[in-house]
Amino acid sequence: MIRLLLLLLLLPGAARADARLSIETAGPLDEIVVVGRNAADASRALTVRVDDRPSPAYAERVNEERLVPPGPFRLRLRIAALRTPRGKPLDKAMPLRVIAFGDNLSVEPLHIETPAALPEGVHGWYFGPDWAVPLRGFESVQPGDPRLAGRNVATVNRPGGDPVLAHGMRLEKFTAALPPGRWRIALWTEDLGEWETLPPLLERRIRINGADVSVLRRSYPDWIAQRYLAGRDREADPAATPFAAIGAFRGGRVETTVTVGVDAALVVEFAGFPAAAIHLTAMTAAPADPVSAVEALRATRFGETWPVLLPPPPAPTATAISTPEPAAMARDGIAILRVQAAVLATATGAAHVEWDDTPLPTRVLWGQWRWRRPSANAAGLVFSAAHLRAEADAIPLRPDLPRPLTVIVQGGAPGVHHGHLVLEWPGGRLAAPISVEVLDVARPKPAAKVAAFLDFAPQFLADPAWDKAPARQLARAQAACDIATLHGLGLASLMPPVGRLDTDFEGVIADIRAAAAWNDGPMIAYAPLRALGAAEAGGLIAKAEAAIAAAGLPRVAWSVADEPAYNGTLDNAAAVAKIVHAAAPSAILAGHFNNPKDAALLPALGVATVNPGYGADAADITALRNKGVAPYLYNMPLPRLAAGAYLWRSGAQGFIQWHARMPTADAFDPTDGREGDVQFLWPTPGLCPPADLDADVFDLVEGAEDLRWFAWLDAAARHNVKAADLRAKLWDTVPDRWAAAERVASRALQWRQDVLDLARNLKE
């Protein structure tokens, strides 16, 4: 469903409308307001372009791109917060020219507004820049203000679009003047975090006018259970807004009542560990309600920033269960069956498979409904049950939502197996007939491999004790289970989690040894080399190469460049590569390329991973190999196609997709970072429980299965005429250019079916 939505977004519209505005002078809090209607039946892209000079290039102007759902829409853009793609603010001394446009969109005349004000009688302090205050009436407090105290007062900027939580400050004391009286005080204290780490909060004391108003002390495991995993069991309510499901739980709001006497002041003090304990974003004081205006603003802006692109499904009208299509697989293969169950009751159920004859190894997962982005960079949310929970014996059933169930069948005795997927709950039972054919076919291992990027589970990386042995042991134990889980799904550990060479050298060798247990060839170490300074890179890589050779481990390709042209790091990567090769001439270096300019680094590399941004056609793969560089595909659109038929046709040595564990900050909040959460493995309590999977991982699994069938066809074609004929036909049918392959991606299922039919016929 999500992939279908993305395809619809790319369809050309019937008409394009735009609205324009000239701004001669802009006030410090002025906002561009865009109001319109999407007349299409699917979400469309809206672009707001702002120029501060005549005819600027794309990189020199503001290009705000948003998805808007069908129907009316509204969004606000604080002019002072706008940035060009290179991070440069607009020159507000110059006249600004604004244009908002999009296909099938009608846009009302653009206009300027200033934000609403705090209610009368409410005092507010915002611990961020003056141009970012969320409501008029907030006073901006910035470093250097004499009312601040602390050893290292510092500002913190966070992405995500929340107007209150986007900025904050590390401080230990703030003193504010207030008239005498009884005041309700509200503090917004949460540091949202950035990228993969949610800042832990273990010990904190907040004291106001000498009295403790909040005291917290917990262990790191308690923090994981109480905070990091807090969102795991919160299923989105289809009748509520996304803000109610996500944003309302963020902010770390602390409220209390204090009395301020004559000639006194409001004194707020923070203490604790680690740094998130002394974080403050905003504070209000009011005789009565200090929070309604702020929370209402957060909810409104959340709705504008994160429009609903795909709403919840309609409530079921009857208790029923769907019948999945019959599946077929090799005896060493995987089949995925999907079922929709609707139960007009509130209960806890359990699901299992009952086989009529010889049982096949199966696992049942249930889909938990969440709001999520349809892609990592999408500025909008879809209602999705792609979070597949492992606890099939405790499935929450509710009358307002269907419950998707996924059955994973792996291997088994040849033959056609019939059975039922059974869902039971107190007072009820549903059974869906299932059929799985296991072909008596032995498939060779493909020459190419399919893998996911994998790092250590972020909840362990965030531990302030990460440099200590117990934390490292937990992280590595979970990583070993993650590798086993992915391997069990048919995915290789081409890019396993590897620690830091400078602080944990022996651990790095242990990481390589652990991944090698699942590998019969080289691996790519994504992070260790790029985490080093140039001065230490050569010696540490030379030492690691010697240790790997002495242990008899597979060769490792050390990543020296991650999209260097895009990131502006080409020269630095080349310099580091030269240093490493001088110290360790035989070391293999790898680079990840998404721009043709990255090719300048090829002479220093032994491995290159490429995607369409660089060039991923079969000709590009051949050109890399001719230069002595081992070619891999990575981060391709349409992962099943890329991992299966196209990987076979392109001749690349493997395909690696981002990412098995890369949530942004809170793994259960898709809105708190520059990108959405990307995690084939969802965070789970404890160490190494049965894994929660994301439905997106099955694109890779199905692609890897396609690839194995193509490997069987390659082998069969060497001694069977029918197989040779089918191979020749498919070789001519599957495009060797990625753009052409994308256009026929829907045929991938039929390509596998053609091979299955041949395998079935050859066995008859």
CATH number at residue 350: 2.60.40.10
Torsion, CA 240, CA 386, CA 638, CA 304, rounded to 10: 20
- Based on the domain organization, do 251 and 161 belong to the same domain? yes
Per-residue model confidence (pLDDT) at position 42: 87
**Domain extent for 210:** 123-306
Burial of 462 (0-12, 13-18, 19+ CB in 10 A): buried
- Based on the domain organization, do 69 and 130 belong to the same domain? no
Torsion, CA 88, CA 94, CA 99, CA 100, rounded to 10: 50
Assigned domain for 475 exists: yes
Burial of 391 (0-12, 13-18, 19+ CB in 10 A): middle
Assigned domain for 198 exists: yes
7 pLDDT band, cuts 50/70/90, is: very low
Half-sphere exposure of 236 (CA within 13 A, CB side): 28
- Based on the domain organization, do 534 and 644 belong to the same domain? yes
Least confident among 159-168, 169-178, 382-391: 159-168
The 10s digit of each residue's pLDDT in 653-684 is 999 999 999 999 999 999 998 889 999 999 99
- Based on the domain organization, do 105 and 136 belong to the same domain? no
- Based on the domain organization, do 213 and 244 belong to the same domain? yes
* CA pair distance 230, 249, nearest whole angstrom: 10
Of the candidates 310, 270, 212, 305, the residue with the CA atom closest to the CA atom of residue 2? 310
Helix ranges (DSSP H) in 166-291: 220-223, 242-245
Please tell me what DSSP assigns to residue 284.
E
- Based on the domain organization, do 356 and 263 belong to the same domain? no
Which of 271, 306, 341 is the last residue in one of the domains?
Answer: 306
Average pLDDT for residues 446-461, to the nearest whole number?
94
Beta bridge partners of 562: 592
The 10s digit of each residue's pLDDT in 592-601 is 999 999 999 9
Burial of 196 (0-12, 13-18, 19+ CB in 10 A): buried
pLDDT for 87 beyond 90: no
Per-residue model confidence (pLDDT) at position 469: 74
Average pLDDT for residues 490-509, to the nearest whole number?
94
Assigned domain for 203 exists: yes
* CA pair distance 99, 39, nearest whole angstrom: 19
Residue 18 has phi, psi (to 5 degrees) of -140, 160
Average pLDDT for residues 538-550, to the nearest whole number?
97
421 pLDDT band, cuts 50/70/90, is: very high
Collapsed DSSP state (helix, strand, coil) of residue 525:
strand
Assigned domain for 630 exists: yes
Q: CA 741: distance to chain centroid?
A: 26
- Based on the domain organization, do 653 and 515 belong to the same domain? yes
11 pLDDT band, cuts 50/70/90, is: very low
Residue 622 has phi, psi (to 5 degrees) of -65, -40
Q: How far apart are the first and last CA of the chain?
A: 37
Per-residue model confidence (pLDDT) at position 466: 62
Which two three-digit tokens encode residue 633?
A: 């595909």
1 pLDDT band, cuts 50/70/90, is: very low
Indicate the number of domains in the chain.
4
| Residue burial 510-533, b: 16+ Cβ < 10 Å; e: rest | bbbebbbebbeebbbbbbbbbebe
Assigned domain for 315 exists: no
Which two three-digit tokens encode residue 258?
A: 């204090």
Give the containing element (helix H, strand E) for 485. helix 469-488
In this structure, how many other beta carbons lie within 10 angstroms of the beta carbon of residue 379? 20
Which two three-digit tokens encode residue 148?
A: 């601040």
Assigned domain for 11 exists: yes
C-alpha distances in Å from residue 523, one per residue of 449, 515, 700: 11, 8, 18
Q: Is residue 101 within 8 Å of residue 152, measured between CB atoms?
A: no
- Based on the domain organization, do 360 and 426 belong to the same domain? yes
* CA pair distance 134, 120, nearest whole angstrom: 16
Which of 113, 134, 158 is the last residue in one of the domains?
Answer: 113
* CA pair distance 532, 542, nearest whole angstrom: 13
pLDDT for 3 beyond 50: no
Average pLDDT for residues 216-232, to the nearest whole number?
95
Residues whose CB is less than 8 angstroms from the CB of residue 284 and which lie 6 or more positions away in sequence, other chains included = 118, 122, 123, 124, 125, 185, 186, 290, 291, 294
- Based on the domain organization, do 474 and 580 belong to the same domain? yes
Q: Is residue 422 within 8 Å of residue 429, measured between CB atoms?
A: yes
pLDDT for 10 beyond 80: no
Residue 726 has phi, psi (to 5 degrees) of -65, -40
Which two three-digit tokens encode residue 547?
A: 């240790």
31 pLDDT band, cuts 50/70/90, is: very high
CATH number at residue 536: 3.20.20
Q: In the chain, what is the greatest distance between 2 CA atoms, to the nearest angstrom?
A: 98
- Based on the domain organization, do 565 and 599 belong to the same domain? yes
Average pLDDT for residues 343-365, to the nearest whole number?
96
Q: Is residue 497 within 8 Å of residue 456, measured between CB atoms?
A: yes
- Based on the domain organization, do 461 and 593 belong to the same domain? yes
* CA pair distance 289, 376, nearest whole angstrom: 38
Average pLDDT for residues 1-5, to the nearest whole number?
39
Give the containing element (helix H, strand E) for 113. strand 111-113
Torsion 158-163-167-169 (CA) sign? negative
Burial of 388 (0-12, 13-18, 19+ CB in 10 A): buried
- Based on the domain organization, do 170 and 296 belong to the same domain? yes
Assigned domain for 313 exists: no
Q: Is residue 436 within 8 Å of residue 417, measured between CB atoms?
A: yes
Which of 418, 439, 460 is the last residue in one of the domains?
Answer: 439
Beta bridge partners of 372: 382
At position 693, the amino acid (one-letter code) is: L
Least confident among 13-22, 157-166, 389-398, 724-733: 13-22
Residues whose CB is less than 8 angstroms from the CB of residue 724 and which lie 6 or more positions away in sequence, other chains included = 717, 718
Per-residue model confidence (pLDDT) at position 92: 84
Of the candidates 106, 108, 63, 113, the residue with the CA atom closest to the CA atom of residue 83? 63
Average pLDDT for residues 734-745, to the nearest whole number?
97
Assigned domain for 558 exists: yes
CATH number at residue 81: 2.60.290
CATH number at residue 292: 2.60.120.430
pLDDT for 586 beyond 90: yes
What angle separates helix 697-717 from helix 721-733, to the nearest 10 degrees?
130
